[in-house]
Chain A
Amino acid sequence: MIYLILAYEFFKIGLFSIGGGMATLPFLMDLTRKYDWFTVSELTNMVAISESTPGPVGINMATYAGYNAAGILGAIVATISLTAPAWIIIIMIAKFLENFSENANVKAAFYGIRPAVAALIGYAVWELLKIALVSAAEGKMEINLINAAVCIVTFALLQIKKLGKLHPLVWIAAGACIGIVLKM
């Protein structure tokens, strides 16, 4: 039964996540609210591991989410379901449509979709930030200042052209070291 739900949810994600791997993030965030497959903080771990292992990030995240929900078979079901809609659409385009990406309506739709995708991912990141930066000790919410400082410094460093081009893996390794040294 869980495999059917996984297949349905990831088929839907595959159909509506447009614009690369990170576009799946808002949908995975939705899943944390609907099912108890993984928590928001586990989702951040999944993003980190998906970015630091080979393979497309979107596929890695789906595999990881499926694995967390229902083991290896869950991983296979989630990953294949994620790719199924694109597979159908691409074959149709390859067969029937020439110059699909030059089509005026397709271009117009993407003119609207691009900012929306940025906003949806922005919202998902906002949720992840809340988990990473706010500690809720004894029911009191307070911002963990050290975490916030690390986040702001990292973001600032990323704006320096040369550093921004470094592979995410380098940043993630640095994050692990900082976490261990500061006992976060």
Chain B
Amino acid sequence: MKTKKVLDLYVSFFKIGGLTFGGGLAMLPMLQREVVQKHHWCTEEELLDIYAIGQCTPGIIAVNTATYVGYQQAGFLGSVSGTLGMISPSLIIICLVASILQNFIHMPVVLHALAGIRIVVCALMLNTVFTMAKKGIIDKLGAAVFLIAFVLACFTPVPTALVIILAGLTGIIAKHFERRRAA
């Protein structure tokens, strides 16, 4: 029984990973269909809770969801199988694309296409940054953290991980003082 569930978890998350483009919220409809409606592994509300946890823990949100659901359904093995199911399609598809691309990358038409794609991707990512900044910067402190993090990344060799840690500490300390002032 448990072996079947572990296998089911792998197959379900393989499907979710292999049939959705882009992680995060793009994956939600597919997750709802497989996890909530088909297998009843959790309710709609639980799925949104798991998403919230996935957003405030390190790592890729989609994979975190797979780990969480897998663990709740079938313990340790379930979490391994859900996680592996989610990453397997990427491993297969990306390795295929990368090896194929290596053979064609010297053709002029491919080079032109990639040059065009690179510029569009820059615009897409710039758009992502604007959206994230709009959502993330809600007050003066947020704006200050944004500017300081940007300056640190641009002009100093401070490791990216340290910037994240310092920003998290800043948030905790700021909220702590806010609560004390309110009390």
- Set of chain A residues within 8 Å of B60, measured between Cβ atoms: 20-21, 56, 58-59, 82-83, 86
B175 to chain A, nearest CB (A): 4
- Set of chain A residues within 8 Å of B183, measured between Cβ atoms: none
With contacts A86-B64, A122-B129 taken as known, whether A132 is within 8 angstroms of B153 at the C-beta atoms is no
Report yes or no: B58 in contact with A184, Cβ–Cβ below 8 A.
Answer: no
Report yes or no: A114 in contact with B87, Cβ–Cβ below 8 A.
Answer: no
A25 to chain B, nearest CB (A): 8
Report yes or no: B172 in contact with A16, Cβ–Cβ below 8 A.
Answer: no
Report yes or no: A87 in contact with B171, Cβ–Cβ below 8 A.
Answer: no
CA distance A113 to B171 in the complex (A): 7
What residues make up the interface of A, taking CB atoms closer than 8 Å to B?
Answer: 12, 14-22, 25-27, 30, 41, 44-45, 47-60, 63-64, 67-68, 72, 75-76, 79-80, 82-83, 85-87, 89-91, 93-95, 100-101, 104-123, 125-126, 128-129, 131-133, 147, 150-152, 154-155, 158-159, 164, 167-169, 171-172, 174-180, 182-184
Which of B53, B71, B91, B146 has the most chain A CB atoms inside 10 A of its CB? Answer: B91
Report yes or no: B22 in contact with A168, Cβ–Cβ below 8 A.
Answer: yes
Report yes or no: A115 in contact with B167, Cβ–Cβ below 8 A.
Answer: yes
Which of A15, A16, A100 has the most chain B CB atoms inside 10 A of its CB? Answer: A16
With contacts A21-B24, A30-B159, A55-B23 taken as known, whether A122 is within 8 angstroms of B150 at the C-beta atoms is yes
Q: Which of A41, A80, A90, A128 contacts B125 (CB 8 A)?
A: A128
CA distance A80 to B76 in the complex (A): 16
Q: Which of B61, B68, B124 contacts A168 (CB 8 A)?
A: B124
The reply on B113 being an interface residue by CB < 8 A is yes
Report yes or no: B123 in contact with A111, Cβ–Cβ below 8 A.
Answer: no
Report yes or no: B59 in contact with A116, Cβ–Cβ below 8 A.
Answer: no
Count of A-B contacts with CB under 8 A?
Answer: 366
With contacts A55-B93, A109-B171, A121-B128 taken as known, whether A101 is within 8 angstroms of B56 at the C-beta atoms is yes
- Set of chain A residues within 8 Å of B124, measured between Cβ atoms: 51, 154, 158, 168, 171-172
**Interface set, chain B 5-37, CB cutoff 8 A to A:** 17-24, 27
The reply on B109 being an interface residue by CB < 8 A is yes
What residues make up the interface of B, taking CB atoms closer than 8 Å to A?
Answer: 17-24, 27, 49, 52-64, 67-68, 71-72, 76, 79-80, 83, 86-87, 89-91, 93-95, 97-99, 101, 109, 112-129, 132-133, 135-138, 141-143, 145-150, 153-154, 159-161, 163-172, 174-176, 179
The 6 closest A-B pairs by CB, nearest first: A179-B116, A112-B171, A86-B59, A56-B23, A175-B120, A114-B136
- Set of chain B residues within 8 Å of A164, measured between Cβ atoms: 127
Q: Which of B86, B98, B153, B168 contacts A67 (CB 8 A)?
A: B98
Report yes or no: B23 in contact with A59, Cβ–Cβ below 8 A.
Answer: yes
Q: Which of A21, A90, A176 contacts B71 (CB 8 A)?
A: A90
Report yes or no: B153 in contact with A26, Cβ–Cβ below 8 A.
Answer: yes
Q: Which of B53, B56, B143 contacts A115 (CB 8 A)?
A: B143
- Extra contacts besides A21-B22, A158-B124, A171-B120 (18): CB < 8 Å: A14-B59, A21-B60, A48-B118, A50-B94, A54-B18, A56-B60, A59-B23, A59-B90, A64-B98, A90-B68, A108-B175, A110-B171, A111-B174, A118-B133, A119-B150, A152-B123, A164-B127, A172-B117
